Amino acid sequence: MAKTCILLGAAIDEGQRRPGCLMGPAAFRVAGLPQALQELGHGVEDRGDVRVVPDQSAECPNPAVHSLAEVVGMANALRKATDEALSTGFPIIMGGDHSLALGSVAGAAAHAAAKGKPLFLLWLDAHSDFHTPLTTTSGNLHGTPVAYCAGREGFDAFGPFPAPIPPENICLFGIRSVDPAEHAALLNHDIEINDMRVLDEHGIVKPLRDFLNKVAAAGGMLHVSLDVDFLDPSIAPAVGTTVPGGTTIREAHLVMELLHESALVTSLDLVELNPFLDDRGRTARLMVDLVASLMGRKVFDRPTRSYSGA
């Protein structure tokens, strides 16, 4: 089914300390994301990069936290932009580092709550991003969005998360780098964790289909947050947080194809692309190809699998 894809640029790299992610939205455009979507029959509305007003009143008692005003400003802008985009189409948020999800997922949650639907979150990432502004020792806020979405404390500067996502509605998929403090906190939350050990033992398909069946059974909306480091750095070098042992090109495309067949995805983040670290646009083009698979590009048409929850 054709969608109206609404592109939102989130030019931010203050959520971590390596410059370059703010060039991500431009790189996705140059790599042909709008054209790829149009070739698949989707409408495309590029609303440009969201305008960010840093929140100079934002405070955090943890002295390690940096760039709080800028990250809160982006979160505020994206919360509103994502909520509005969901009213008329399928938002694709082009980052930017993963701190942008503090706003994009909040906007999706606000929209889902207004429609009386549960929101589910699929986190495709090497990291669990389950720190809070109070527990982070690096001070990098790109490592905090999942904790915010799950309703953990310590996010006073961002305001209450609209309708916190029940932990059982969150799936961490492909993770392979978790700090001790995050590990301890995750043990107290019923979040579905499919790390690379699980995927190695059981494969990609069953854990993902099980989660998608849960979304379908609940009549939920699904926000997907795709981090470049979900992929192995040998195929996607343009990321500042490389962790060996990520998914292959074929595995990543399989994930995207299964998501397309489910027809459950309602919004999408593309994050942590740092064009300064790329090899002649290699990573940007791969990410565009993955989005195309999510949006319906196939080598051979097959009957669509039913996700009835059965």
Tell me if residue 142 is catalytic. Answer: yes
Beta bridge partners of 91: 6
Return the beta strands (E) in 149-217 as ranges.
Answer: 170-173, 192-194
Candidates 49, 70, 125, 278; catalytic one: 125
DSSP 231: B
CA-wise closest residue to 186 among 103, 130, 145, 253: 130
Tell me if residue 49 is catalytic. Answer: no
Candidates 13, 49, 55, 127; catalytic one: 127
Candidates 13, 70, 97, 227; catalytic one: 227
Q: 32-54 burial, b if ≥16 CB within 10 A, otherwise e? A: bbbebbeebebebebeebbebeb
Tell me if residue 98 is catalytic. Answer: yes
Tell me if residue 55 is catalytic. Answer: no
CA-wise closest residue to 238 among 188, 187, 273, 206: 273
Query: What's the rounded Cα separation, in Å, for the pair 215 and 222?
Result: 7
Instruction: Reduce the DSSP state of residue 136 to 3 states and report it.
Output: coil
Candidates 14, 272, 278, 289; catalytic one: 272
The whole-angstrom distance between residue 285's C-alpha and the CA centroid of its chain comes to 18
H-run or E-run covering 200: helix 196-202
Query: What's the rounded Cα separation, in Å, for the pair 78 and 8?
Result: 8
Q: What are phi and psi of 198, to 5 degrees?
A: -60, -45
Q: What are phi and psi of 85, to 5 degrees?
A: -65, -35
Candidates 14, 55, 98, 260; catalytic one: 98
Tell me if residue 13 is catalytic. Answer: no
Candidates 97, 129, 182, 289; catalytic one: 129
Quickly count: other Cβ atoms within 10 Å of residue 139's Cβ: 18
CA distance to 46, 92, 109, per residue, from 225 (Å)? 19, 10, 14
Tell me if residue 97 is catalytic. Answer: no
Beta bridge partners of 193: 172
Candidates 13, 55, 70, 229; catalytic one: 229
Candidates 42, 111, 131, 142; catalytic one: 142
Query: What's the rounded Cα separation, in Å, for the pair 118 and 215?
Result: 9
Catalytic residues: 98, 125, 127, 129, 142, 227, 229, 272
